[in-house]
Structure 1
Amino acid sequence: MKRRELLVALAAGALAEGSTGLAQASQAKFTGQIDLPKPNLKGTMSLEEAIEKRRSVRRFAPKPLPVEAIGQLLWAGQGITSSDGKRAAPAAGALYALELYVVTATEVMHYLPDGHRAETRATHDLRPELRALAVNQASVEAAPALLVVAADPSRLSARYGGRANLYADLEVGHATQNMLLQVVSLGLVAVTVGAVDGAPAARKLGLPHAQTVVYLVPVGFPV
């Protein structure tokens, strides 16, 4: 049996057994990729204004985020910003331990910085289940878009040894602050949620085994 046929058969078998998380995500990623709208490089708000206006907001208008806004936020966190592949946020050794995901009412998207693209990893609403893994914080379910920052410290281990986890956590902070300032510049609101059970959340999202969820960022329009 060819490798692709074997993967399809395994996914079908898992679905037949009623599996939802990893099996659905694994199957969905074969549906292809989409090009995100080109990021805007000329905003209407200065950096200083964005810093001054940034606040944690936990209530959101019931309005979906347009794909243009989602793409802009992902680019701010991990977008490629130079011809040699460097990204918007600092990363130890340019090894890039982070992966960004977006959870909405209809899907889970995985950001692919190369080419500014995204792939669909699931086609159902996982926000209620992620809320349960984040000490039941209502903002996780209420936000029309939930940014998920996941880290894979093993990408850093060969070079940095026991400091890999620390450097991955620092990278999470760099990327998240970029996205929070981009939130403000787009006229949106957000809050950071660090109280998340990372490994179970990663399994619920169907992430590769080396990745763990470190941060959730509920984002939406202000009420």
Structure 2
Amino acid sequence: MKRREVLAVLAASAMTEVAGCEAQESPARYVKDIALPKPNVTGSVSFEEAITRRRSVRTFGAAQLPIETIGQLLWAGQGITSQDGKRAAPSAGALYALELYAVTPTEVIHYLPHGHRAETRATPDLRPELRELALGQASVGGAPLVIAVAADPSRLAPRYGARANRYTDLEVGHAAQNMLLQAAVLGLVAVPVGSFDAARAARTLALPPGQTPGYLIPVGFPA
């Protein structure tokens, strides 16, 4: 093959790779907006008992979680709990850098705190790919629900500058612990997973630019 032809092939290949990356990194479009069932704010399990129950469990039953249970978990992580818009988990300056995504075998659910709503989009089962990028951890592929706690430090940066990343990491931890305790109250089992390729996870979930998952939390009924 002549040099000019080789260069043309290489250029075409590069253009194809760029186009593929752009398509993969484009944020997803959610096609359905739903109102979630009203969260329960008067549970029968004490805070102390919830702490006692919480354990990291990596095996799950096969049953899917009902939407009211998913909504309750998401509310515990980022639900609005006051008249002035404050949320269940603390945030530096009440700027709220987090977004919560719940992955089921058939869809991705993006939580919308205002109005306790969600937007959803149908997908192929993303759990096997999430398991692969989480170093093959079986819990990520085997749980009926995987919650991705995504963060966008740029929401904090105008006020906190270089501290924004640190504060965002703290916020991820606050929300994750809330949801883990809520799972314990609901009789569910869960495990926080921090060992995964965050950039690949963002692409798999088709997150908007700037959002990166800090935790994956597989959740389900006990095996």
AA aligned opposite 1:171: E
Q: Deviations over 1:147-173 (max 9, x none)?
A: 100000010101000000000000001
Partner of 1:213: 213
Aligned to 1:156: 156
Is 1:126 the counterpart of 2:116? The answer is: no
d(CA) in 1 for partners of 2:69, 2:120: 17
Are 2:80 and 1:112 aligned? no
Q: Whole-Å Cα distance in 1 between the matches of residues 39 and 172 of structure 2? A: 21
Paired with 1:138 and 1:20, the residues of 2 have a C-alpha distance of: 29
- 1:12-38 deviation line (CA, Å, top 9, x unaligned): xxxxx9x98556x634x1x23000000
The 1-side partners of 2:114 and 2:140 are apart by: 28
Q: Alignment identity in percent?
A: 67
Q: Distance in 2 between the 1:90 and 1:169 partners?
A: 12
Contact 2:32 2:121 (C-alpha < 8 Å) held by counterparts: no
Matched position secondary structure for 1:26: coil
C-alpha spacing 1:197/1:93, structure 2 compared with 1 (3 Å): same
In the other structure, the counterpart of 1:169 is 169
Segments of 5+ residues of structure 1 without an aligned counterpart are 1-16
SS class of match (1:108): strand
Deviations 1:70-121 (CA, angstroms, capped at 9, x unpaired): 0000000000001111000000000000000000101011000010011114
Give the AA of the match of 2:42: K
RMSD: 1.5
Match of 1:36, as an amino acid? L
**Residue in structure 2 matched with residue 185 of structure 1 by the alignment:** 185
- Given the two structures, how large is their TM-score scaled by the length of structure 1? 0.88
Equivalent AA in structure 2 for residue 196 of structure 1: F
> Does the CA contact (< 8 Å) of 1:45 and 1:185 recur in 2?
yes
Q: Which residue of the partner structure matches residue 143 of structure 1?
A: 143
Equivalent in the alignment of 2:28? 26
Distance 1:46 1:149 in 2: 25
Q: Distance in 2 between matches of 1:142 and 1:98?
A: 25
Change beyond 3 A, Cα 1:33–1:22: farther
List gaps (5 residues or longer) in structure 2. Answer: 1-19
| Runs of 4+ off more than 4 Å | 19-23
Q: Say which SS state the counterpart of residue 135 (structure 1) adopts.
A: coil
Distance, in Å, in 1 between the alignment partners of 2:53 and 2:210 is 36
CA distance in 2, matches of 1:87, 1:53: 24
Contact 1:108–1:124 at 8 Å: present in 2 too? no
* Aligned equivalents of 1:186, 1:20: Cα separation in 2: 39
Partner Cα distance (2:25, 2:118) in 1: 18
Whether the 8 Å CA contact 2:65–2:144 is kept in 1: the answer is yes
Larger radius of gyration: 2
**Number of aligned positions between the proteins:** 203
Q: Does the CA-based 8 Å contact 1:196-1:214 persist in structure 2?
A: no
